[in-house]
Structure 1
Amino acid sequence: MHTKPTFTSYDDMRANYCLDCPDDFNFAYDVLDAKNPDQPAMIHVDDTGTRRDLDFGFFQQTSHRLANALLARGVGPGDRVMLILYRRVEYWTAMLALHRIGAVPIPSPSLLTAKDITQRVNYARITTIICEDSITARVDAALPDCPGLGLRIQVDGSPAEGWLDFEAIMAQAAPQCPRTKATPGGNDPLVIFFSSGTTGLPKMVLHNHKYPYSHYTTAAVWHDLTPSDIHLTLSDTGWGKSVWGKFYGQWMADAVVFVWDFRGKFDADALLRIIADNRITTFCAPPTVYRFLVREDLAKYDLSALRHCTTAGELLNDSVYHAWHKALGMPIYEGYGQTETTLQVATFKFMTPKPGSIGKPVPGWNIALLDEAGQPVPQGEEGEICINIDSPVLGLFDNYMDEPEKTASVKFDGWYHTGDKAWADEDGYLWFMGRTDDLIKSSGYRIGPFEVESALVAHDAVVEAAVTGVPDEVRGQIVKATVVLSAGYQGSDELTKTLQTFVRELTAPYKYPRIIEYVPELPKTISGKIKRKEIREADLQKYAN
């Protein structure tokens, strides 16, 4: 579809790289159906270790048939379809089938409870659900309170009462779902992601059919993919990150998508064996995963096929970057985006990585750091990451579905306001500070939590840390760290003093945590993001005068 772009520098990329998406673009027809059916598309390894090698012909055939099966049962343009499928092959088939007919998939995480399902089904007005057999009991428990939920399709196992069998309805369907004048594309609705809100119901982020096209940059340039690559992004299909790294851009770049459908708790040793045994060449995971990987003896694993590594989702700690680089001789390239965007800031392989920096703006994303008055801030000062929307931005969400007020609160005066803060250094690299609400104001200083957290987790005693501000009469706020300790360590006054000294040596002295609380685990959203607001609210009561 594209000739892989090559660049000598960031300036070369800025000057010469531009994506021009067709007005009626539909990924299923324009990308998938254009592939040679015999070309390798996916390597899938399930939780038992069973490996399947699938070509594009498999996804062409199954998605055409499922599209017809859904049409025959009344699913059509605009209908909202919840998918809860872990990392099963059927997820890709279902997404592609829905893209063909204009129904709107809502990928959802497997951790949803019956209550969560009830809330989301009613909130999003979902009419159809496709899920694995292990989820059906939760859906059935929610069903009495979901009057709009009609069609239920089960993957695997004997269908429960009221459920249709995924494979059976496909087998009965016609093999071709041809493109017509009514086929959706371009600016038509494509997919809804629930954003991982830390309080209340998350927002419904709507992307149109041009959204996948923007992910070509993610795959071909940031992941550096070629047709000979096997790429693994470690993400559940219930989140937007899965289509960043396991779907659209990777197939546009002709790479093979590697999927490991593990269940239960993440295991670093198991992941490293998967990478080694399957000769993974490029890899992307959140910093938390790398943090656990570098605690293993990496020399035990044959990682010789691995050539390029990336990370996103949170900030990469300096200590992890250097440990990985020392062990494997390769850097980790950071990237930044949101559920509402595709890749908008990144460090690419033709740039010198600065550990802790998210990189520079991606071509096509006109980014500025603005103050509260909407004015650009000077170099070196913090500002909100904002995207100019005076003209359409390929990859930016359309709106928060059914919530025009929420959309208007972030898209105004010609800018999309991300709610994230950063500062730019003298070379134009951006340094992420955190969400606007997460910044700590202490004695006139504004402190981002990530720098302090990064310093803490560099100590062997600390596995995870969440840094927040606690009200203080003298300083306004003081820095507090909520810490999860490594095995073999116990919280004590002595350890607290050790960690405080350690942080002071790595950061500016005023940033060290004056309070350290030890906990068995941090409060997190189901997507794994730390709920700092929940910690702050608990502290308001705990430390109130």
Structure 2
Amino acid sequence: MERSGHLDTFARDHLPPPEAWPEFLLDHPAVRYPARFNCAAELVDGAVAAGHGERPAIWTLAGGKPVAISYRELQGRVDRLARVLTEDMGLVPGNRVLLRGPNNPAMATALLATIKAGLVAVPTMPLLRAAELKPILDKAQVSAALCDVRLRDELEACTRPGPSHCPTLAQVRYFNDEGPESLESLARGKTVPFPACDTAADDVCLIAFTSGTTGSPKGCMHFHRDVLAMCDLFPRSILDVRPDDIFCGTPPLAFTFGLGGMLCFPLRAGASTVLAEKLTPATLLETIQAARATIVFTAPTFYRQMAALAPGYDVSSLRHSVSAGEALPDATRQLWKQATGVEMTDGIGSTEMIHIFISSAGAQVRRGAIGKVVPGYEVRIVDEAMRPLPPGTVGRLAVRGPTGCKYLADERQANAVKQGWNLTGDSFLMDEDGYLYYQARTDDMIISAGYNIAGPEVESALLQHEAVAECGVIGVQDEERGQVVTAFVVLRPGFPPGDDLVKALQDHVKRTIAPYKYPRVIRFVDTLPRTETGKLKRFALRTL
């Protein structure tokens, strides 16, 4: 590894041992980076140096009208805040900083300033409670936090004696606050420019904790070069991002899907992004219309709800609509395309890999497939012994590229990386043309009476019925069949639950996919348990 720019060496000291790392593929022309750089400086200072200083970087909507923050103004905000971090707070390169806030310019500035100062950003979802923040703070040994003042209550519980107390958390500062000790107040008197910390390409700049669909969250450590690699592969080769593109969407900046799509991708291209809080399907459509957005990122659930509303809005500016975070049912893809004329760009990534590594767009889309491997990455479908499987065979997805799994002091590293390949925990099928078809999470494959049944396939079939608004499918233990396919269904208004509807839905599934896959048990519920990023919490369905 290159000489570290960190004085606090915790992050490098707690990387997995080198023999547990995946193999990194760094020979693609787009990811041949110098040995030393700071990714935040590349994203912001690099854009200004490239002549984008007066162009919009971040948009907000004030009274429904877009208001721009230019690249030069963003650069000044980042540099002043970096001085607060180093001068007023006394932080040194390598210290971990918890970041807490919704998608707004202050949160984006805090992220970029933290990384530019050589600190390690630990962004967290806005709705996490103190009991959920504590294991993150403890595991990453966080000494400082930057928080939106509206979210202070849960974080302050971690600073006081009690079950959520975190002894390492020595100082907390607030933004979107006009008090005398607020970050904004402290930053006003600072000078610019701020020289970026001389970090190595393989210094850790980000610890992204998984969103917890499978229980205990894991800290995924990412290098400065990883942040640039996510910007220089998927968005360039699949989305063909241009400086005049305007991004918008729902994924939080604390989620790597959002960190890329809502901030880093547009900055790397000299494009711009609309940062908006608490979007609904209707207000996201309003945002697309008002900002003339060209690229939108959100989850399948949102697209399904937006499809019904889209005819009431002008979304003709859209070039790409990107879906990730969970499986995209074909029924949702077709509804969106019929409503907008835009072909969905599906993708699969992971917090461990930092962003999307399988995707296709436009004319390259093949129905039923997520897409092909993104240039710069390699994938295989393998069996339990890591032997490659032939086309058309369902197996475990293995991937490698310039990014990869590096858990923070976690024994689960051994399960996530084998023989230099990252194992995502997904089962896939690859056809002879290289298109990849998602089957299920490997731990969500339902085995019933000897049949392997993928829950997402059953969900996709159910969603094609007019009565179904949302659904989740799992296997429930059964003495006779091993597991029975069990569906949890949220109904659309006007469809009363009852035995007749259960039978109608079962018959519909039998007609749509192989009859043995039909849900033998259907339970009607008001809502489904989801993470803050919109992913279905399958493990939580087991407790309903």
What TM-score results when the alignment is normalised by the length of structure 1?
Answer: 0.88
Distance between the aligned counterparts of 1:18 and 1:60, measured in 2?
25
Residue 53 of structure 1 and its aligned partner are, at CA, apart by 0.3
Q: Does 1:283 align with 2:283?
A: no
Q: Does 1:355 align with 2:385?
A: no
SS of 1:310's equivalent in the other structure is strand
Q: Does the C-alpha gap of structure 1 residues 303 and 158 become closer, same or farther in structure 2, counting only changes over 3 Å?
A: closer
Q: Does 1:164 align with 2:176?
A: no
Moved more, 517-526 or 76-85: 517-526
1:274 maps to: 287
1:207 maps to: 222
Matches within 5 A, 1:389-468: 393-397=401-405, 399-403=406-410, 405-468=411-474
Residue 238 of structure 1 and its aligned partner are, at CA, apart by 2.2
Whichever residue aligns with residue 192 of structure 2, its letter is: P
Distance between the aligned counterparts of 1:153 and 1:131, measured in 2?
6
SS of 2:494's equivalent in the other structure is coil
Residue 295 of structure 1 and its aligned partner are, at CA, apart by 1.9
Alignment gaps of 5+ in structure 2: 1-26
SS of 2:159's equivalent in the other structure is helix
Residue 473 of structure 1 and its aligned partner are, at CA, apart by 3.3
Residue 537 of structure 1 and its aligned partner are, at CA, apart by 5.4
1:136 maps to: 152
Which of the numbers 122, 126, 135 marks the counterpart of 1:106?
122
2:19 maps to: none
Whichever residue aligns with residue 211 of structure 1, its letter is: D
1:502 maps to: 508
Q: Does the C-alpha gap of structure 1 residues 514 and 384 become closer, same or farther in structure 2, counting only changes over 3 Å?
A: same
Residue 350 of structure 1 and its aligned partner are, at CA, apart by 4.9
SS of 1:344's equivalent in the other structure is strand
Whichever residue aligns with residue 63 of structure 1, its letter is: V
Q: Does 1:523 align with 2:529?
A: yes
Whichever residue aligns with residue 364 of structure 1, its letter is: G
Residue 200 of structure 1 and its aligned partner are, at CA, apart by 4.1
SS of 2:542's equivalent in the other structure is helix
Distance between the aligned counterparts of 2:460 and 2:244, measured in 1?
35
Q: Does the C-alpha gap of structure 1 residues 363 and 311 become closer, same or farther in structure 2, counting only changes over 3 Å?
A: same
SS of 1:247's equivalent in the other structure is helix
SS of 2:150's equivalent in the other structure is coil
Distance between the aligned counterparts of 2:321 and 2:207, measured in 1?
28
1:8-40 deviations in Å (ceiling 9; x for gaps): xxxxxxx99753222223222233212232122
Distance between the aligned counterparts of 2:225 and 2:29, measured in 1?
17
Q: Does the C-alpha gap of structure 1 residues 124 and 19 become closer, same or farther in structure 2, counting only changes over 3 Å?
A: closer
2:140 maps to: 124
1:30 maps to: 42
1:5 maps to: none
Q: Does 1:295 align with 2:311?
A: no
Q: Does the C-alpha gap of structure 1 residues 474 and 378 become closer, same or farther in structure 2, counting only changes over 3 Å?
A: farther
Residue 74 of structure 1 and its aligned partner are, at CA, apart by 1.4
Matches within 5 A, 1:28-67: 28-34=40-46, 35=48, 36=51, 37-45=53-61, 49=64, 51-67=66-82
Distance between the aligned counterparts of 1:402 and 1:45, measured in 2?
41
Matches within 5 A, 1:186-197: 186-197=201-212
Whether the 8 Å contact between 2:510 and 2:517 is mirrored in structure 1 is yes
Identity %: 33
Distance between the aligned counterparts of 2:107 and 2:368, measured in 1?
34
Whether the 8 Å contact between 2:330 and 2:367 is mirrored in structure 1 is yes
2:540 maps to: 534
SS of 2:480's equivalent in the other structure is coil
SS of 2:74's equivalent in the other structure is helix
Distance between the aligned counterparts of 1:155 and 1:30, measured in 2?
24
Distance between the aligned counterparts of 2:350 and 2:327, measured in 1?
13
Moved more, 206-215 or 120-129: 120-129
1:387 maps to: 399
SS of 1:134's equivalent in the other structure is helix
SS of 1:294's equivalent in the other structure is helix
2:102 maps to: 86
Distance between the aligned counterparts of 1:200 and 1:327, measured in 2?
36
SS of 2:366's equivalent in the other structure is coil
SS of 2:426's equivalent in the other structure is strand
Which of the numbers 190, 201, 205 marks the counterpart of 1:173?
190
1:383-413 deviations in Å (ceiling 9; x for gaps): 111124xxxx32324x11122x222231232
1:217 maps to: 233
Q: Does 1:241 align with 2:241?
A: no
1:62-98 deviations in Å (ceiling 9; x for gaps): 1111111111121111111111120120122112211
Whether the 8 Å contact between 1:218 and 1:244 is mirrored in structure 2 is no
Give the paired residue count.
507
1:147 maps to: 167
Whether the 8 Å contact between 2:485 and 2:518 is mirrored in structure 1 is yes
Distance between the aligned counterparts of 2:71 and 2:357, measured in 1?
29
Distance between the aligned counterparts of 2:471 and 2:245, measured in 1?
35
Whichever residue aligns with residue 181 of structure 2, its letter is: L
Distance between the aligned counterparts of 2:102 and 2:28, measured in 1?
39
2:4 maps to: none
Residue 114 of structure 1 and its aligned partner are, at CA, apart by 2.3
Residue 166 of structure 1 and its aligned partner are, at CA, apart by 0.7
Whichever residue aligns with residue 177 of structure 2, its letter is: G
Distance between the aligned counterparts of 2:361 and 2:339, measured in 1?
21
Whichever residue aligns with residue 129 of structure 1, its letter is: A
Whether the 8 Å contact between 1:442 and 1:476 is mirrored in structure 2 is yes
Q: Does the C-alpha gap of structure 1 residues 402 and 165 become closer, same or farther in structure 2, counting only changes over 3 Å?
A: same
Distance between the aligned counterparts of 1:473 and 1:375, measured in 2?
33
Residue 456 of structure 1 and its aligned partner are, at CA, apart by 0.7
Distance between the aligned counterparts of 2:429 and 2:499, measured in 1?
35
